[in-house]
């Protein structure tokens, strides 16, 4: 049988039963523990801030790719429109309207929302595709062949502009050289802003009385 003082259950012992020295020591240790945990929390916060910066860098690195994707998607849309309009004539003759008169035959097709007229030929002349047949004797399909041939010729020579030059420049953009020597592509928005500035400048120039010539004497 064991004798002596019974073992104290410090873990479940109420603080009011603690000896003063034990309470002071326990309180000091707990303050040390709290300080250590606070330091660990601070390190965790530092790691979180670092991760946030890394995440932001990764998010920022997506921007040039997204910008390029948007440019390509825009160009794909423009190419799809052009392909649709250019293949319109190749798919059939339904898009071509023929206007016949006593002297000649003309054809019309709508490209990019605008009507394009082509003089197919005078009735007494032979065709350029069906060279052994008079215009007046041709069927509608043969006249459409002549129309298609002449329209392609005019487009190749630049006589028929599918889009206005101004619009073409805006869609294509323009590559310019900056002060630092780098190449930069000017967007349609920048071209529009530049045109608006020039128009305002020209308007102010012509409305200014100081620029008017004196009346002749």
Q: Are residues 97 and 136 in the same domain?
A: yes
Q: Are residues 150 and 195 in the same domain?
A: no
Give the span between the Cα atoms of 85 and 81, in whole angstroms: 6
Give the span between the Cα atoms of 149 and 130, in whole angstroms: 11
Ordered strands of the 97-100 beta sheet: 97-100, 104-111, 114-122
Whether residue 97 is contained in a domain is answered as: yes
What domain range is 172 assigned to?
Answer: 165-202
Whether residue 87 is contained in a domain is answered as: no
Q: Are residues 150 and 100 in the same domain?
A: yes
What pTM, to 2 d.p., does this model score? Answer: 0.42
CB within 8 Å of 211: residues ≥ 6 apart: 205
Q: What is the pLDDT of residue 36?
A: 94
Q: Are residues 108 and 149 in the same domain?
A: yes
Q: What is the pLDDT of residue 206?
A: 44
Whether residue 216 is contained in a domain is answered as: no
Whether residue 69 is contained in a domain is answered as: no
Q: What is the pLDDT of residue 58?
A: 93
Q: Are residues 142 and 173 in the same domain?
A: no
Give the span between the Cα atoms of 101 and 104, in whole angstroms: 5
Q: What is the pLDDT of residue 208?
A: 47
Q: What is the pLDDT of residue 205?
A: 45
Q: Total structural domains in the chain?
A: 3
Give the span between the Cα atoms of 85 and 90, in whole angstroms: 10
Q: Are residues 147 and 103 in the same domain?
A: yes
Q: What is the pLDDT of residue 105?
A: 92
Q: Where do we find the tokens 């309470």?
A: 23
Q: Are residues 172 and 150 in the same domain?
A: no
Tell me which residues of the chain have a pLDDT lower than 50: 164, 205-212, 217
Q: Are residues 97 and 153 in the same domain?
A: yes
């Amino acid at each position: 049988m064991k004798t002596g003082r019974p073992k104290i259950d410090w873990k479940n012992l109420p603080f009011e039963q603690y000896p003063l020295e034990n309470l002071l020591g326990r309180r000091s240790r707990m303050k040390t523990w709290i300080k250590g945990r606070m330091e660990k929390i601070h390190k965790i916060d530092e790691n979180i801030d670092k991760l946030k910066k890394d995440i932001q860098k990764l998010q920022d690195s997506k921007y040039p790719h997204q910008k390029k994707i948007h440019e390509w998607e825009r160009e794909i849309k423009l190419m799809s429109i052009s392909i649709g309009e250019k293949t319109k004539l190749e798919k059939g003759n339904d898009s071509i309207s023929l206007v016949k008169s006593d002297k000649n035959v003309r054809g019309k097709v709508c490209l990019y929302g605008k009507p394009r007229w082509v003089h197919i030929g005078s009735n007494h002349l032979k065709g350029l595709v069906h060279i052994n047949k008079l215009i007046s004797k041709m069927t509608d399909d043969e006249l459409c062949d002549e129309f298609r041939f002449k329209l392609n010729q005019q487009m190749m020579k630049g006589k028929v502009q599918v889009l206005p030059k101004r619009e073409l420049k805006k869609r294509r953009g323009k590559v310019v050289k900056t002060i630092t020597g780098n190449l930069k592509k000017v967007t349609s928005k920048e071209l529009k802003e530049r045109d608006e500035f020039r128009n305002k400048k020209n308007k102010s120039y012509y409305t200014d009385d100081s620029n008017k010539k004196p009346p002749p004497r």
